[in-house]
Amino acid sequence: MNWIEEGNKYLMHNYARLPLIFERGEGVYLYDTNGKKYLDMMAGIAVNILGYNHPVITKTICEQAKKIIHVSNLFYIKPQIELAKILVENTTGDKVFFCNSGAEANETAIKLIRRFFFSKGQPDRYEIIVFKGGFHGRTIGALSATPNKEYQKGFEPLVEGFRYAQFNNISSVLENINKKTAAIMLEIVQGEGGINVADKKFLQDINQICKEKEILLVIDEVQTGIGRTGKLFSYQHFNLSPDIITTAKGLGGGVPIGAVIAKEDIASSFTPGTHGSTFGGNYLATAVAKEVLNIVNNENFLKKVEENGNYLKDKLKKEFNFPVKGLGLMVGVELPENISAKEIVKKALDEGLLIITAGKNTIRFVPPLIIEKHHIDEALEKLKRIL
């Protein structure tokens, strides 16, 4: 049977799928149905941070599946509590809400912001400042918080209450603040926008503005979190104190899970019945995520991510005369207009290399965090042949 033809027949065409079906994975490599080997430098879009068939993750999934996969959040769930404790002890937050994805996490943050000011008797404070080039998800609220007309086209009317500022431009932020401003929400590194890294002073100025004007600071760590940048969360590079942190992608190492971490006074505005998620934080997802964090939240592991990220950037700069940007193992190469990033991605398949685009014309590297220097060398040799 031709599964690609079957897929085109029965699946909605909302993805520009590449003509590949994978059968298995091992470490940082994937193998298609013909047995061809691919070096994975995209990790399911920054999700499979421990690669494929990791013994601890595989064992945890099997053992938990034999016990309980799901009950309901109407009951206490032990691995959920254990996971929440790890997240609270390693962030600026005090309480955690679990969901299933990054978009869900950002939707939750938007609702939590509104509910917080409503509970304070300030329902007119509901506007959130977000940034051009940012990406917060595909659900209607998260999409409204994503200033990209291509993504938003055809889904109007959008949810009101978002103001779009220029990234790395503090004047633009100040121009958008008014009496309705409730929060500022941003990514430290804009992933979909092109691997754009926030300036240190820009972030510190925002941090100070939020404190002075009692505006909530929300950091979207969906792609940057869980060790991706060489810290457990990217905001930790810059000594920030976010009120709300959202994360997902790498948290489950491939198992769907998202989380919102908030300070006590903000989290307390969610009372029974105000918000929920049927599958959020179930036994399977939280048992796996707990093991992922136990591996990643280690000084030596994070140091190696930072070292390998610097190695990747240095080699890219040395080998190619294109702008290189990023933080940790979240790296982008900005190509000139006469070279199509999308075409490079397609040609990379012939070389057995999996990469992905970002922004207008950027190649994005977000490999499994277990990658070694010799894997990076292999990837760049392949890329050199393609270019």
Which of 250, 270, 296 is a domain's end point? Answer: 296
Nearest to 381 by CA among 361, 373, 359: 373
For 278, half-sphere exposure in the C-beta direction (CA atoms, 13 angstrom radius) is 0
Are 192 and 262 in a shared domain?
Answer: yes
Residue 104 CA to residue 138 CA, distance in Å, equals: 9
pLDDT of the residue at 235: 98
Percent of the chain topping pLDDT 70: 100
CATH of the domain at 212: 3.40.640.10
CATH number where 29 lies: 3.90.1150.10
Number of folded domains in the chain?
A: 2
CA distances from residue 322 to 77, 83, 152, 293 in whole angstroms, order as listed? 49, 41, 30, 35
Q: Is residue 124 part of a domain?
A: yes
Please say which residue of 246, 272, 296 terminates a domain. 296
335 and 379 part of one domain: yes
Instruction: Record the pTM.
Output: 0.96
Tokens coding 172: 């633009």
Q: Is residue 58 part of a domain?
A: no
CA-to-CA separations, 255 to 22, 50, 65, 248, in angstroms, rounded: 17, 12, 13, 10
Question: Are 35 and 82 members of one domain?
Answer: no
Helix axis angle for 283-296 and 299-319, nearest 10°, is 70
Please indicate, yes or no, whether residues 282 and 223 belong to a single structural domain of this protein.
yes
Claim to verify: residue 27 and residue 113 sit in the same structural domain: no
Residue 1: the pLDDT is 84
Tokens describing residue 53? 């068939």
Give per-residue pLDDT as tens, 313-329. 999 999 998 999 999 99
The average pLDDT across 182-188 equals: 98
Q: How confident is the model at residue 312 (pLDDT cuts 50, 70, 90)?
A: very high
Q: Domain of residue 327: give its range.
A: 3-53+298-386
The pLDDT of residue 190 is above 90: yes
Q: How many CB atoms lie within 10 A of CB 349?
A: 17
Q: In the chain, pLDDT over 90 holds for what percent of residues?
A: 99
pLDDT tens sequence across 133-145? 999 999 999 999 9
Mean pLDDT for all residues in the chain: 97
